[in-house]
Chain A
Amino acid sequence: MSTPLTLRTIHHPDGRPVLSARGEIDMSNLPEFRAALAAAVTGSGPIVVDLTAVDYLDSGAINALFVHAEHLHLICNRVLLPALRISGLTELATVEAPDAP
C-alpha cells in the first residue's frame, strides 16, 4: 500500500505547467512523483511545482526535484524549507514559501 498522494498537472493561464501535489511523498510513492514530474517538464521552459499541500517529503523526492532543478519554481510549506535548504535545492531552483494561512 502506498502513502496517499494526489498529483495533478494543470497549465497556468500563461502556459506554464503547474504540478500540484497533495499528501506525503516517500519511498512508496516516489516513482509516481518522479513520473508526474518528468511528464510535466515537457519542454525546456520553467514549470511550477506546488507543494503547499505536501506535509512530508524525503531525500528521494528531493533527488527527483534535483534532476530538473534549473527549471523549477517551487511553492512549498514553510516547514519544509530547512530540508530543501540543507539539501542545496534552494540554490538551484527558485523556492517560494507563502506565509502559513
Chain B
Amino acid sequence: MTSGADGRLRAAEIAETTEIAETTEIAEAMEAAGIADATGAGVFAADQEVGEDLAVVDWSATPIGEPSGWPQSLRTAVSILLSSRFPMWMAWGPRLTFFCNAAYRRDTLGQKYPWALGRPADQVWEEIWDDIGPRIEHVLATGRATWDQGLLLFLERSGYPEETYHTFSYSPLRDDWGTVVGMLCVVSEDTERVIGERRMATLRDLGSDPSVARTEQEMLEFAASQLGRNQRDLPFTLTYLFDDDGGARLAATTGIVSGHPAAPGHVPSDSGLWPAAAAAQGRSVLVDLGDPALGSLPTGAWPTPPAQALVVPLLHQGSVPVGFVVAALNRYRPLDEGYRGFVDLIAGHVAGGILSARSYRAQLRRAEELAELDRAKTAFFSNISHEFRTPLTLITGPVQELRTRLADAEPVVRAEVEVIHRNGLRLGKLVNALLDFSRIEAGRMRASYEPVDLAAVTGELASVFRSAIEKAGLRFEVDCLPLAEPVHVDRGMWEKVILNLLSNAVKFTFDGAVAVRVRTQDDHAVVTVADTGIGIAEAEMPRLFERFHRVENARSRSSEGSGIGLALVKELVGLHGGTITADSAQDRGTTFTIRLPFGYAHLPADAVTEGPAMVTASASVEPFVEEAMRWLPDTAVPDLQPAAPGDAALPPRVGSPALTDAVRGLPARVLVADDNADMREYLTRLLRGAGHEVRAVTDGQAALETVRGELPDLVVSDVMMPRLDGLGLVAALRADRRTASVPVLLLSARAGQEASIQGLEAGADDYLVKPFSAAELLARVRANVELARLRSQHARWRTALVDSLQEGFFVCDADGTVAEINATFAEILGYGPDGLPYRPPLAWWPDPDTDPHAYQRVRQEFSRLVEDTSGEGDLPLVHRDGHRVWLRATFNRVEDPVAGRHVIVGTVRDITGEHYTVQRDTALAALAEQLAQADTVPEALAAAATELRRTWSAHHVTIAVFPPASAGSHREPDLVRTSEHSRWSDLAPELRTLLSALREAPPLAPQVDQPGCAGVTVGYPGGVLVVWIDLGDRRPFGAEDQALLSVLAGRLGQGVHRVHEIDQQREAAVALQHAILGPASLPGGFAVRYQPAIRPLQVGGDWYDTVPLAEGRIGIVVGDCVGHGLNAAAVMGQLRSACRALLLEHSSPARALAGLDRFAALLPGAECTTVFCAILDPASGELVYSSAGHPPPILVRADGTAATLDGGRGIPLGVRIDRHRDQDRLVIPARATLLLYTDGLIERRRRSLDDGIARAAAAVHDGRGMPVEELASHLMAVLTPEGGYEDDVALLLYRPPRPLEIEFVAAPSELAPVRHTLRDWLSRCDLNAQMINDVLIAVGEACNNAVEHGHREHPAGMVRLRAAALADQLWVSVIDSGRWKPLDPEATARGNRGRGIALMRGLMHHVTIDATESGTIVEMSTRIAT
C-alpha cells in the first residue's frame, strides 16, 4: 500500500486525539485567523510543520508580498487551509501563488514539497496544467466552483510521471472586496480505488469463463480476450508454453502481434529473448525493455511504450511450470506488491486453466476408450448370441425330428425327449430376446413395417393362447374390433409384444380373466392386455420396464423369468413409434395399454413395405405357449417332479412297473454284515450267484466304516451282532447325511410283528425273518436295490439340477452344519463338497481377531438364518484364497423328508462387484457433496476426513497437510483429525515418521504396509496431503478397499484443488474490496457493521461512511443502492466518494444530497439509491440531517424513550434533479443511542416496514446499556431473519459523548488538566453535580495512586485514563505500568492510602484493583439514575 492508505490511517489517528488537543487547536486556529495576532508568523500557526516551511518562504519575491501586508481574506483562507485535515491547496493573486496543507503534502505533493510553496501554481503543476489550467481559469472568470470525479492526472511527484486519479473541486476565493482573486482546491485521491477496481474487473472477467471444460487453445483465447481489455495494467502480454526440449512456444498474445521482434514464435531454453530457463525453475524475473532487439514496442493504452516487463512462470503449485507469461508493465505505476500480486494471480489463473484443459483432454480420451470398449462388448454379445443360435438350431431341429419319430417309443424315452425339446425352446426364446436387445442397442434392428389389419393379427395371436389360458381356469376375452385403417407393424416384433404380455398375464393371474382389446382412439390404434391377477405394487411401477428388473417375491405360477420380457416389449413398441403404459392395482390386476399411430410417417421410410397383409402365426409363438402350459397345475413340470398319469404326452409316475425294467439285471454292490461265518458265506454265495458284487464284514462297526469308505447299493445286516448291532448300524447310517439313503435289509432270527416294527422304526428299509428262502432274499434284495437305484437316480437328477443352478446352493442343519453345497457355491467360496460337512465356525467366516466387524456381522446374519423361517442377508465372507467375497444369501427352512427334521436350504449369489460399486458410488457421491459445500481448504479436509472415516467405519482418519517442498520443510504440517483436535507435535513419533515417509510415496497409490491401516498421498497446489486411515482393528484393507481409497483420494485432490483456488481468488478479491468499502477507522462513539448479501463478497450496494469535517464536525452517511453484488458495489463506491466530497464542499446535508442527485442522474445504476446524510456536531450534540427516501434512523434516549428521525424527508436520488431538498435538525442527548441502518436490517417478507422499525427500536432499547460495539453485534444477531439476511445490511450506531481516552505523564502537575478534561466530559454525559464530583474524587484517587506509587521506579511512566458512558452506567478505568501496594497494612494503619481506596469504594458502585507485575488496572463503575 502506498501513502494513500497510510494517510487515511493517520488522519483517523488524529481524529482520535483528546479533547484537550482539540480545544487548543480551535483556539489556535482563531488566533491564526488574525483575530488575536497580527504578526506574519501567526498566519501560519494553524499547522506547525507546513507553517514553518511557509514562514521561511521569501514572500517579498512573490506578487502577494510579505504576510504582514496580506488582506484579512487571504489570512483567513490560509489558516482555514492549514487547519483542515482534508487535503487542500489554494492559489492566490495574479500569479496564483501556491499554498497547501499537511494532508495535501502527504497525499499528493510528494517530492515537490517544500519547493512548491509560494511558487506560481502553473509551475508547481506544470505537467498537468493543460488539464487543470482551464478549470482554474473558469473558476476565476465565473466565480463558480468546478467538480471532477476520478480525473486521471499524470503527476511527477515521485520522480516519474505517475498515473493518479483525483476527485476534486475548485472553488473561488475572494478578497476583502469580494473580487475573485484565487481559488481553493479540495481534493481526495482515488488512485488506489480506481486501479484496484480496474484490476479486480480484469480478474473477475478472467474468472467468468462460463464453460468449465474446454481445450487449451480455447482457454488461452478466452484469457487473452479478457487480458486484452486491460491495456493500462497490461500494455501487452505474451504467453509461452514449454516444449519438451525446454524451449517455449508462443501460445497467446495481447496488445502485440505474434511475430513482432519481441514476440518470437519460439524461445530457446538457454539464451533467448525472454528468460525461459528461470521461469522453468519457477522464478519470476523483471526484464528491462530497453534492448533494441525488441524493436519498437506497442504502447498499450499509454502514449509511450512500457519500460519493464514482469516474466512470471505459469505455475500451479504442486506441479512444474507449464510456461510463462510476459506481462509488460504500466510505466506510470510502481511495481508494488499489489501490482506484482495482480500479475501473479493472472499467471496462476492461466496455469490453472491450462492444467484443467489438459486434464480434461485426458479424461475425454479415456471416455472415448470406454465408449469403444462398450461398442466392442455389444458386438461381442451379439456374436455370442449368434453362436448360441446355431447349436440351438442343431439341437431343436433334430429333437423336433426325434419327437415325431419316437411317437410310439417307450413313454420314458418320450418324456426325456419332451424335456429336451421344451428347454431347447426356452433357451432359444431367451437367446432371441437377448439378440433383439443387442440389435436394438446397436441400432441394427432390421424391421419391416407392413400395413396390417391390427385387430385381425392381434386376435389371431391371442387365440393361440386360448387353450393355455382356459386350461389355467381363467376366462379369456378377446375383443378386437376391426380398425378403420391398417397399422404398420413388423410382424415378428408385434408377435413378441403380444405374446410377452399374454404370457405375463397368465403367469401372474390365478383367477378371473385375461382380456385383449383393440380399439381406435384419437388417431391411434390402442391395444390393451388386461388381467385380474396379483397386480403390481406401486413402488415397483417406475422400474417395471427396466431391463433385468424382476418384481421380487411376487406370487406367480413360476419363478422362471429373466426380467427382460417387458423391457423388450417397451423397446419394440418404441420402434413402432408407439407407447406402452401400465396401470395396476395390487390384487386387482394389471392393464398394459399400447398406442400405435396410424400411417407410416413416423417410421423410417426404407423399412416400410406395402406387402399384403397376411394373417399367420409364426414359429416364435410356440415357445411362449409351451412355456405357459408348463406353469399350469395339472400339467406339472416333468423335469422337476413326477407327473400325473393319464396324458400320453407326459412321463409316467416314477416307480411304475414299466420303469423297473430299465434297471433290471444290473449288478448291485451289496455289503453283508453278519457275525456268523457260515451265514456270511451263504449270503455271499447266494448274492454273488445272482450276479451281485458282495463284500462281507463281521459286525455293525465294520459295516459302518466300510459304508463310510464307499457307499454300497444295499446293506444286508444281521440284527444281533457284537460291537454294533443291526439296529445301531441303521441308526448310525441314518444319522449321517451321506449314508442316510443307503438301503438296509435287516435279517433277524426273532419273529413276530413287534420285532419287525422295531427294525423298520429304526430306519431299516426291509426286514426278513430267518429262516428265509433264497428266492425270497434275492427278491427282497432286488426290490430294494431297484428302489434305491430309482431313489439315487432321482438324487442324481436333483444333484445335476442343483449343480446347474447359476447361484450357489447349500443345505445346512439347524446348528449350522453345512451338509450339502453345489458347484457354484464351491466356486464362489473355494470350498468344495469334498470337505463336507462344514461345521461352525465355518471356514469362510472372517477371522474374529483380525476382522471383528465382519465377523460380528456374519454371526448376526447367521443366527438369523438359524432362527427365522426364511430371509435374505448380505454377508462379508472370506474365499479360501483369502480374498473378501460379499454374498447375498437367501434361505428357507424346510422339513427334511429323509431325516425328519428341519434343515435350511438356501442360495447364495456373489455380489462382491455390486457391493463395491454401490459402496464406491455412495462414498464418491457423499464425498463430492461434502467437498462441494466446503469453502475453505480446512473445511474441505475436515469434511473429507469425516466421510472417509464413515466409509470404512475407521477408528480415526488423519490428514497431514505438508507444505510444498519449495516452501522449506521446516514448517510443521497442519493436521486434520476426526478424533480430536491435535497438532503435529501431539502425534506419536512412529506415526509422524510414517506420515513423513508417505509424503514421498507416489500420489494416489494406497500404502498398506501397516496392518489395519492405510495411507495415501494426494498432491494439491498448497502442498502434499497425506491421508492416514486407522481402522482401529486388524481388519484387512483389501484390493477393493485400495481401489476405493484411490478413487476417493483422487476426488479429494480435485475438490481441494478447487477450494484452494477459490480461497486464493477470494483473498485477492477481499483485499481489493477493502479498498472501496467504508472508512478505515471510525471516530469515537461510533460502531458499524456491514454484511453483504452475496457471500464471498465483502462489498455490496449498501454503505456507511463517516467524514471528518471542519471544526470537529462529522459527516455521517448511510446509503443503499439498488441491487447487490459487484455491480451495485461499483455504483456504491462512486456515490460514496461523491458524497464525501459534497459534504466537504457544502457542509449541508440537504445540499450534499442535491449535488448527489445530479451525480446520480449521470451514473448508470445510481437512480433510486436511498441515502441518509447528516452532519453531527459532537460538541453540542446537534445533528442536521436530510433523507433521500431512506428509512428513518432510530433514536433511543437514556431514559428508554424512542423516536424516529422523520424530518428532512425527500425522494430517492436521481429521480428529479432540481427538486429542493429539506433538512431538519435535532440534538442528540447525552447517552442516547442513534441507529442508522439500511432496510436489509429490518425488512421481512410479509411484514410491514413499521413492524421492522419497531423491532429494531425495541432491540436498541434493550441493549442501550451495552457499549456500542457490543450493541452492534447484538443488533445484527437478534434481528437476523430465519435463514439469514437476504439483502445487504449496513448499520451505524452513535452514542454521545464518545468515550474519553487520555494518556498522561505520571506527574502531580498533570492531575489538574486531566481532572478538568474529565469534568468537562462528565458534564457532557448529562450527570448531576453530585455525581460529577463523586466520580472526580474517586478517579482522582486512582490517579493519585498511579502517580505516587506506580511510578516511583519509572518517574516518566504514562497513565491511561478511559471513561465510557452507557445509557445507565458509567465506566472508568485507570491503567498504569507500575505496581502499587493497595493493601499495605502499614499504610492502612496510618490511614493514608487506605483512605484513598475507601473513598473510591465509597463513591463508586463497583471498584476492582488488579495489580500485576506489568502494571495496575483500576476499574470503576457507577449507575446513572434515568
Q: What residues of chain A have their CB less than 8 Å away from a CB belonging to chain B?
A: 1-4, 24, 26-28, 55-60, 62-63, 66, 78-80, 82-83, 86-87
Contacts and interface: CB of A to CB of B under 8 A. Distances in A.
A60 B1345 CA distance: 11
B1311 A27 contact: yes
B1308 A86 contact: no
Given A26-B1315, A66-B1391, A56 B1308 contact: no
The 8 closest A-B CB pairs, nearest first, are A86-B1402, A3-B1312, A79-B1333, A59-B1396, A28-B1308, A27-B1308, A59-B1395, A1-B1309
Interface string B1398-1418: 110011000000000000000
B1336 interface: yes
A62 B1336 contact: no
B1395 A63 contact: yes
B1344 interface: yes
Contacts of B1344: 26-27, 58-60
Secondary structure at the B interface, as helix, strand, loop or mixed, is helix
B1348 interface: yes
A3 B1316 CA distance: 11
Given A26-B1311, A56-B1315, A56-B1336, A63 B1347 contact: no
B1402 A63 contact: no
A82 B1341 contact: no
Given A55-B1333, A62-B1399, 5 more contacts: A26-B1344, A56-B1315, A59-B1344, A82-B1402, A87-B1399
Given A27-B1311, A28-B1311, A58 B1340 contact: yes
Contacts of B1341: 58-59
B1388 to A, nearest CB: 12
A83 B1403 contact: yes
Contacts of A66: 1391
Contacts of B1312: 2-4, 24, 26, 28
Nearest to A63: B1392
B1251 to A, nearest CB: 47
A26 to B, nearest CB: 5
B714 to A, nearest CB: 124
B1330 A27 contact: no
25 contacts: A2-B1309, A26-B1311, A26-B1312, A27-B1311, A27-B1347, A28-B1308, A28-B1309, A28-B1311, A56-B1333, A56-B1340, A58-B1337, A59-B1341, A59-B1344, A59-B1396, A63-B1395, A79-B1329, A79-B1332, A82-B1330, A82-B1334, A83-B1333, A83-B1334, A83-B1337, A83-B1402, A87-B1395, A87-B1398
Interface of B: 1308-1309, 1311-1312, 1315, 1329-1330, 1332-1334, 1336-1337, 1340-1341, 1344, 1347-1348, 1391-1392, 1395-1396, 1398-1399, 1402-1403
Contact of B1340 (A26, A79, A82): A26
Contacts of B1399: 59, 62, 83, 86-87
Contacts of A63: 1391-1392, 1395
Contacts of B1340: 26, 56, 58
Nearest to B1338: A83
Nearest to A30: B1308
A57 B1336 CA distance: 9
Given A56-B1333, A63-B1391, A3 B1311 contact: yes
A62 to B, nearest CB: 6
Nearest to A28: B1308
A62 B1395 contact: yes
A27 B1343 CA distance: 10
Contacts of A80: 1333, 1337
B1423 to A, nearest CB: 15
B1337 A56 contact: yes
A70 B1391 CA distance: 16
Nearest to A27: B1308
Contacts of B1308: 2, 26-28
Contacts of B1395: 59, 62-63, 87
A86 B1398 contact: yes
A83 B1339 CA distance: 12
A79 to B, nearest CB: 4
A74 B1341 CA distance: 22
Contacts of B1334: 79, 82-83
A56 B1403 CA distance: 14
B943 to A, nearest CB: 62
Contacts of A82: 1330, 1334, 1402-1403
Nearest to A2: B1309
A27 to B, nearest CB: 4
B1107 to A, nearest CB: 38
A74 to B, nearest CB: 16
Nearest to A59: B1396
B523 to A, nearest CB: 105
Nearest to A85: B1402
Contacts of A4: 1312
A61 B1341 CA distance: 11
A55 B1392 CA distance: 21
Given A3-B1311, A80-B1333, A86 B1392 contact: no
Nearest to A56: B1336
A12 B1336 CA distance: 32
Contact of B1330 (A1, A2, A59, A78): A78
Nearest to B1348: A27
Given A66-B1391, A82-B1334, A24 B1315 contact: yes
A91 to B, nearest CB: 13
Nearest to B1340: A58
Greatest chain A CB density within 10 A among B1334, B1340, B1341, B1396 is at B1340
B1330 A79 contact: yes
B1329 A86 contact: no
A80 B1336 CA distance: 11
A60 B1332 CA distance: 20
Nearest to B1333: A79
A68 to B, nearest CB: 14
Contacts of B1329: 79
Contact of B1403 (A1, A2, A27, A86): A86
Contacts of A55: 1333
Nearest to B1397: A59
B454 to A, nearest CB: 112
A57 B1340 CA distance: 9
A55 B1332 CA distance: 11
A82 B1392 CA distance: 18
A63 B1392 CA distance: 7
Nearest to A24: B1312
A86 B1403 CA distance: 8
Contacts of B1391: 63, 66
Nearest to A23: B1312
A76 to B, nearest CB: 11
Nearest to B1331: A79
Contacts of A60: 1344, 1392
A83 B1312 CA distance: 18
Contacts of A79: 1329-1330, 1332-1334
Nearest to A83: B1337
A86 B1330 CA distance: 14
Nearest to B1315: A56
B870 to A, nearest CB: 92
Contacts of B1337: 56-58, 80, 83
A4 B1312 CA distance: 9
Contacts of A57: 1337
Contacts of A86: 1398-1399, 1402-1403
A59 B1403 CA distance: 12
Contacts of B1347: 27
Contacts of B1309: 1-2, 28
